[in-house]
Chain A
């Protein structure tokens, strides 16, 4: 299966059908669908918004996952966004409008080797400006062994590259269909910290209990979070070249939902540290991030009300170089939260509104002290962000979705570093950003 995934990935111009004439015939699905799926995979890899449109329109309305044979499933997704901004570029410091810098493509396979042992892998290609250039990476690749103690208790272990259990949306954060908006609420799912929270190499132990009063799930992760795309931005963030390497880190999530799933609560705690090795002789830097997130969601047939509140400890030590005029070290207690309401006035249409606030240092919410300390290098508004969002989503079919959203933003605390123009020494120059800005986004997405 791994070989198949890679061959799909590495041969964007050759369809499976051309490659292996007999392959489609072996699949356990009627011919019409096979042709669509084959075309779909090859053309999605070409990664163009127009193609995504055309292929989706030609796919049957109820396009299904590919089942190679019993107990194997293959699924995938593709999204392309367009942004218009009045001030700061989204994922690009080139302020030309519109920009198409945000593309997400993924394909995954899952195989039940035995009823209790499952193997899963997802390959992701993500393009988000200068540093996320779309080269395919293994997003997760794991072995999952679980067993039901009886019909109400289940325990298990996942090993390999596993998704970190983090809040409500992190588990599937690259799949537009599962997100409430084009960009996740940045207070909790900060683009800049994506690497450290998405998946890690290690283990997850989990247990689940389903009773008449509800479902309880506990997941514990221990391992090494990833730092690949942060390292591409190292120079821009730190102002010198070097490498950030994660240390053993821990994440735990406790989730409760009522039997009918209407009400859901989650509590996430994490302790992540990473070492910054500098390319010049100097003591290593150390970054520590320890968030505590409270999540709540209430769902009815038409409404979904969601809120998450994060209180975190974020510390950077030894991050400067000898002779640097400014000491970049920090020691923050951050406070971040959002309130979100989604209204499905029709099974295919959804309206969304959200208020999102982010104060990386809750003792300095105006950013004044941080601005003084940085000697004006980082303006006060780069130390907070308040975002109001409204959005509209249309599920054209169960496999194709289009959405539009408008954000009004005060502050740049969550603006991805790709959007900050580069100043002297290749360091991001926050003084070249706008304090108040509007961001309009449009996104087309398909999945199977």
Chain B
């Protein structure tokens, strides 16, 4: 009898350990590797709502709360970080954003974001352009830009 009990206990322990590992790896997978960043001194409070951030990157919302212009910077469509930012942070597909920008640009109803070629260029632009917003890899510890968390 005691043998059987210990066997069950052992199994239970194993399952608990397994589920802990699963939970941990699950949360690892869900964790974002990209973060929204703005120029220091931009009139926006963190955290920002996802809807507002989407409006900014869809180029629908074009001014900050003080009336100054929002300057949106992005990486190329096929850059993995662009894809991560769209899917993880904005919860949109990259092709949806591209279609939204094309509609604005080729119908005279708006402008597209400025496309930069590297994260280094992104960092420089955000650090040096008032009103700028973009995104950077999360692990990048950079004091030149302000991180914008999403609700």
Contacts and interface: CB of A to CB of B under 8 A. Distances in A.
B14 interface: no
A159 to B, nearest CB: 11
A157 interface: no
A186 to B, nearest CB: 21
A110 to B, nearest CB: 5
A15 interface: no
A64 B96 contact: no
Given A115-B63, A172-B103, A299-B96, A110 B69 contact: no
A208 B114 CA distance: 24
A171 B68 CA distance: 28
A158 B104 CA distance: 13
Contact of B109 (A115, A171, A301): A171
B109 A144 contact: yes
Contact of B106 (A77, A259, A301): A77
A375 interface: no
Interface stretch (B20-28, B49-57, B133-141): B49-57
Contacts of A163: 107-109
Contacts of B96: 261, 299
13 contacts: A62-B115, A62-B117, A64-B115, A75-B106, A116-B63, A116-B67, A118-B110, A152-B51, A158-B109, A171-B107, A175-B106, A178-B102, A260-B91
Contact of A115 (B68, B76, B77, B114): B68
B109 A347 contact: no
A374 interface: no
Contacts, number: 111
Q: Which of A71, A151, A171, A208 has the most CB of B within 10 A?
A: A151
B13 interface: no
B67 A144 contact: no
A62 B92 CA distance: 21
A175 B117 contact: no
Contacts of A234: none
A110 B106 CA distance: 10
Nearest to A63: B115
Given A62-B115, A260-B91, A154 B61 contact: yes
Interface residues of B, number: 37
A172 B102 contact: yes
B151 to A, nearest CB: 11
Interface string B84-113: 000000011111101110110111111110
Interface of A: 61-62, 64-65, 67, 71, 73, 75, 77, 106, 108, 110, 112, 115-116, 118, 120-122, 140-142, 144, 146-148, 151-152, 154, 158, 162-163, 171-172, 174-175, 177-178, 208, 210-212, 215, 259-261, 299-301, 344, 347, 398
Contacts of B55: 151, 210
B5 to A, nearest CB: 50
B106 A178 contact: yes
Nearest to A111: B111
Contact of A110 (B67, B108, B115): B108
Contacts of A158: 108-109
Q: Which 7 A-B pairs have the closest CB atoms?
A: A120-B108, A171-B107, A115-B69, A62-B76, A172-B106, A140-B108, A175-B106
Contacts of B69: 71, 112, 115
Nearest to A215: B60
A126 to B, nearest CB: 14
Given A71-B69, A151-B61, A260-B92, A110 B103 contact: no
A398 B99 contact: no
B105 A75 contact: yes
Nearest to B117: A62
A67 B114 contact: yes
Contacts of A140: 107-108
Given A106-B106, A148-B61, A398 B112 contact: no
Nearest to B131: A115
A172 B107 contact: yes
Contacts of B67: 115-116
A208 B60 contact: yes
Nearest to B96: A261
Nearest to B94: A347
Contacts of A261: 92, 96, 100
Nearest to B67: A115
A146 B111 CA distance: 13
Nearest to B87: A301
B65 interface: yes
A300 B93 CA distance: 8
A108 B76 contact: no
Contacts of A398: 76-78, 98
